[in-house]
A and B are shown apart, each in its own frame.
Chain A
Amino acid sequence: MSSLMSVQGLSQSVPRARMPLDRLRLACVASVVLAVTVAVSLAQAQVPERIRLGLIVGVSGPFNVAGAEQKRGVDIALDHLGGKLGGIPFEVIQADSRGNPGATVQELSRLIEKERVDLITGLTASNEIVAAIKPITDAKVFFFGMNGGPAPVAGEGCSPWYFNASFQNAQITNGIGGFMSQRGVKKLYLIGMDYEAGHEHTEAARKGFTGELVGQTYTPLTQLDFAADIARIRASGADAVFAFYPGGPGITFVRQWAQAGMAGKVALYSNIALSEPTVFQAQGKAALGTVVTGNYSAEIDNPRNRRFVQDFRAKFGRDPASFAGLAYDTLMLIDAAVREARGNIRDAAVFRAATERVAFESIRGPFRFNTNHQPIQNNYVFEVDQRPDASLYLKRVGVAAQNAADEFASKCSMK
Chain B
Amino acid sequence: MTGGLVLEQAFNGLQFGMILFLMAVGVTLAFGVMNLINLAHGSMLMLGAYFIAAAATKITAYPLAFVAALMLTAVASVLLEVLVMRPLYRMGHLDQVLATFGVSIAVNEAVIMIWGREAMFVAPPEWLDGTVALTDTISYPLYRLAITGVAALAGLALWLLLARTRLGMRIRAGAENGDIVGALGVNVRLLFIGVFVISSLLAALGGVMLGPLIAVQSGMGDPLLILALAVVVIGGVGSLKGALVASLAVGLLDTFGRMIWPHLMGNIIGNIVANASVYILMALVIAVRPSGLFGNHAA
Contacts and interface: CB of A to CB of B under 8 A. Distances in A.
Interface in A218-237: 218-220, 222-225, 227-229, 231-232, 234-235
Contact of B1 (A217, A228, A235, A252): A235
A68 interface: yes
B212 A255 contact: yes
B143 A235 contact: no
Prevailing SS type, chain A contact patch? helix
Nearest to A65: B117
Contacts of A259: 124, 141, 143-144, 212-213
A234 B138 contact: yes
Nearest to B223: A222
B9 A279 contact: no
Interface string B1-27: 110010011001101100100000000
A77 B16 CA distance: 46
A279 B117 CA distance: 11
A53 to B, nearest CB: 24
Interface residues of B, number: 45
Given A235-B5, A282-B120, A227 B15 contact: yes
Interface stretch (B67-75, B255-263, B289-297): B255-263
Given A228-B259, A248-B217, A282 B119 contact: yes
Contacts of A248: 119, 214-215, 217, 220
Contacts of B258: 217, 228-229, 232
Nearest to B210: A224
Contacts of B254: 228
Contact of B118 (A65, A232, A250, A284): A65
A228 B214 contact: no
Contacts of A194: 271, 275
B125 to A, nearest CB: 13
Contacts of B224: 224
Interface string A275-302: 0001101111000000000000000000
Contacts of B141: 259-261
Nearest to B141: A259
B184 to A, nearest CB: 43
Given A232-B259, A248-B217, A225 B131 contact: no
Given A220-B275, A261-B131, A228 B119 contact: no
B226 A231 contact: no
B123 interface: yes
A170 interface: no
B2 A224 contact: no
Interface string A82-120: 000000000000000000000000000000000000000
Contacts of B214: 224-225, 248, 251-252, 255-256
B177 interface: no
Interface residues of A, number: 38
B187 interface: no
A231 B213 contact: no
B121 interface: yes
A238 B258 CA distance: 17
A157 interface: no
A298 B216 CA distance: 25
Given A227-B144, A228-B12, A228-B13, A281 B118 contact: yes
B267 interface: yes
Given A217-B271, A228-B259, A256-B213, A284 B16 contact: no
B256 to A, nearest CB: 8
B139 interface: yes
Contacts of A256: 213-214
A216 interface: yes
A281 B121 contact: yes
A225 B16 contact: yes
Interface in A240-262: 247-252, 255-256, 259-261
A64 interface: yes
Q: Residue among A220, A225, A255 with the most chain B CB within 10 A?
A: A225
Contacts of B118: 65, 278-279, 281-282
B121 A282 contact: yes
Contacts of B275: 194, 218-220
Interface in B105-162: 112, 117-121, 123-124, 131, 138-139, 141, 143-144
Given A259-B144, A281-B119, 18 more contacts: A65-B217, A68-B117, A222-B223, A222-B226, A222-B227, A224-B210, A224-B214, A224-B223, A228-B12, A235-B5, A248-B220, A252-B215, A255-B212, A255-B213, A256-B214, A259-B124, A282-B120, A284-B123
11 contacts: A64-B218, A65-B118, A218-B271, A224-B214, A224-B223, A225-B19, A228-B16, A235-B1, A259-B213, A279-B215, A282-B121
Interface of B: 1-2, 5, 8-9, 12-13, 15-16, 19, 112, 117-121, 123-124, 131, 138-139, 141, 143-144, 210, 212-218, 220, 223-224, 226-227, 254-255, 258-259, 262, 267, 271, 275
Interface of A: 64-65, 68, 194, 215-220, 222-225, 227-229, 231-232, 234-235, 247-252, 255-256, 259-261, 278-279, 281-284
